[in-house]
Structure 1
Amino acid sequence: MNLLYWLEPWEPSPTVVIAIVVAAVLFVRGQRKARVSMARRFSFWLGLAGLYVALHTRLDYFFEHEFFMHRAQHLVLHHLGPFFIALAYPGAALRAGIPFAWRQRFVRPALAARPVRAVVDVVMHPVVAVVLFVGLIYFWLLSPIHFMAMLDWRLYRVMNWSMVIDGLMFWWLVLDSRPAPPARLSPGRRVLVVIAAIPPQIVLGAFIFFSPRELYPIYSICGRAFTWLSPLRDQQIGGLLLWIPGSMMSVIGAVLALRHWMRLSARARLREERVGTTPVAARHDGDTVGKSTGESGAATAKSGA
């Protein structure tokens, strides 16, 4: 067996192929116009490759037949892949990759539509973003829901795509390096948002790790890929993957968001600094002008008298 064998899809999905190819083509077309650095290019391709491997290779068989492999898959789909894509800040390159006529005719009107803006405003709200990010993990790990998702291939794909889309939205929101506006959240709020997502992941991972009974019997029913691994040991490894690497990704995200905050503050690009200094300067200039005007008027009146 060679590398090509493992890159073959276990269950072919045209949706995955189209989504990956479209993103790759747009980025390639736009990276020169947007002047994307080599580090950002590497980050984007690393994240995109991670999503492809987790969604459309022969490894999917193991993702469906071992709980800890399933958790490794979702670690890539929800954390690593979207994290590296968002870290590349590919928005400008992806927009530049779309033909100008298409942007004018389709993209801008669609983004400016009220329903679209309303939905984006809701899902990008900091509280909603945290609830969705953590809530989806909890939802798909509810034993009855997880049982059905691993049996029904349609629900299985909905589960995986929901993790990818939510991961992209969350990390795009948190890793935004710009001040607010144009960023949706201020640097301080971005730090708080990612920190708020850490404790629930730790709690759920610890609960799964310390559980004395098998929480996900679907893997025993359908047959396990690694027969030498006991169900409880498999479950414990899966709990650790959620507990430690999943939480550590949030810690790294918080550090990067804090770094952006400090950088913007050092450059006096924070909104509160601009708003806080401008009125003082304007008021000082106004007082000086008023005082000069008053003095000039008094001198004129005195000379006229």
Structure 2
Amino acid sequence: MRQLIRLAPLLALAMPAAALAHGGHDHGEPPGWTWDPWITVPLLLSAVLFGLGWRRLYGRSAGGRPRLKRRLWLFAAGWLTLAGALVSPLHEAGERSFTAHMIEHELLMLLAAPLVVLAEPLSAMLWAFPAAARRTLGRISASRAVSVPFAWATGAVVATLLQAAVLWIWHMPSLFDVALASEGWHATQHLCFIVSALLFWTAMLGRRGAGASALGDRALAAFCLLVTSFVTGALGALMAFSDSPWYPGYARLALAPFGMTPAEDQQVAGLVMWVPGGLVHLVAALALFRTLLVPSPQRTADAV
């Protein structure tokens, strides 16, 4: 614990340090932006589809415009977070610093994913297509081949186990070093993190309504959020308390930003996963529990 207290100030330094780290062995050059078309093209395509669909929905809507505006701001915040994590110098800095890499992962899974889920982008994107294409896509999404696996993957327990498995498996030293050494595997790692996080937050945030079934789903989601806070916190704590680096790819770099050793860099990264990561899931769980304990006006009206 004394070691963690000594490293705590480095956590505050690690945020700007991520922007100063450099992927590779040249310490003098700052990290650059990542313009990989496999990243930028899907990002731009998603923004265009959402923008076109949202504009069409907004033009056809009357009473629902305040909610559409809220969805637009949520999507913009989530999209900018996603783009900032994957395109900004933070992405390249992660090749030098495990802390920078961890910050990138946390932005993807704890901020971008829930914001995008709350924006409900797919329904807006659907309106970017002509009427015939919308009907075809609607039939495909409603088919059992799509709806059944999606419902299964966004069940609270399944989504929680899936995200936990992805998190722990990809942080195994052998697999993490493979991702560090290969751009293809690095992209695969990030795709697994993003997809599992989107499924997880869909399961956690999509339980609406006031019926007994919806309330039960929300209680289960709150419990799964608590479990997730412990699961991610345990992995972060193991990193934070470790005196030796787990990942040879980072250990070979000798020094991380601000003169930290690879072991210290890993300990700060563990703190990033442990504290902010656990806190986000805990706050979300408490917010869901509050909706169960505090009667909503709709539930009160139904009971009268």
Task: Please state which band the TM-score falls in when normalised by the shorter chain.
Answer: 0.7 to 0.9
The equivalent of 2:277 in structure 1 is 246
Whether 1:25 and 2:48 are equivalent positions in the alignment is yes
The equivalent of 1:151 in structure 2 is 181
Give structure 2 stretches of 5+ with no counterpart.
1-29, 59-64
Per the alignment, in what secondary structure is the counterpart of residue 59 of structure 1?
helix
The equivalent of 1:268 in structure 2 is 299
* Cα distance, 1:24 vs structure 2: 1.4
Q: Tell me if the contact between 1:180 and 1:186 (Cα under 8 Å) persists in the aligned partners.
A: no
Q: Tell me if the contact between 1:179 and 1:187 (Cα under 8 Å) persists in the aligned partners.
A: no
Question: How big is the alpha-carbon RMSD for the aligned residues of Structure 1 and Structure 2?
Answer: 3.1
Which of 189, 208, 221 aligns to 2:239? It is: 208
Which of 120, 133, 136 aligns to 2:150? It is: 120
Whether 1:52 and 2:76 are equivalent positions in the alignment is no
* Structure number, greater radius of gyration: 1
* Cα distance, 1:57 vs structure 2: 2.6
Task: In structure 1, give the amino acid aligned to 2:234.
Answer: V
Distance in 1, Cα, partners of 2:44 & 2:215: 29
Question: After TM superposition, what 4+ stretches of structure 1 lie above 6 angstroms from structure 2?
Answer: 180-185
The equivalent of 1:280 in structure 2 is none
The equivalent of 1:16 in structure 2 is 39
Identical pairs, percent: 24
Distance in 2, Cα, partners of 1:185 & 1:22: 37
Distance in 2, Cα, partners of 1:114 & 1:92: 18
Whether 1:193 and 2:224 are equivalent positions in the alignment is yes
* Cα distance, 1:99 vs structure 2: 3.1
Distance in 1, Cα, partners of 2:218 & 2:174: 39
The equivalent of 2:126 in structure 1 is 95
- Give the TM-score of the pair, scaled to structure 2: 0.77
Q: Using the TM superposition, name which of 243-252 and 94-103 deviates more.
A: 94-103
Distance in 2, Cα, partners of 1:128 & 1:168: 13
The equivalent of 1:160 in structure 2 is 190
Task: In structure 1, give the amino acid aligned to 2:154.
Answer: M
Task: In structure 1, give the amino acid aligned to 2:277.
Answer: G
Distance 1:185 1:85, change over 3 A: farther
Distance in 2, Cα, partners of 1:180 & 1:95: 28
Q: Tell me if the contact between 2:176 and 2:247 (Cα under 8 Å) persists in the aligned partners.
A: yes
Q: Which whole-Å deviations, capped at 9, do the CAs of 1:154-189 have from their partners, x for residues lacking one?
A: 111000111111111211221125228897972222
Q: Tell me if the contact between 2:210 and 2:299 (Cα under 8 Å) persists in the aligned partners.
A: no
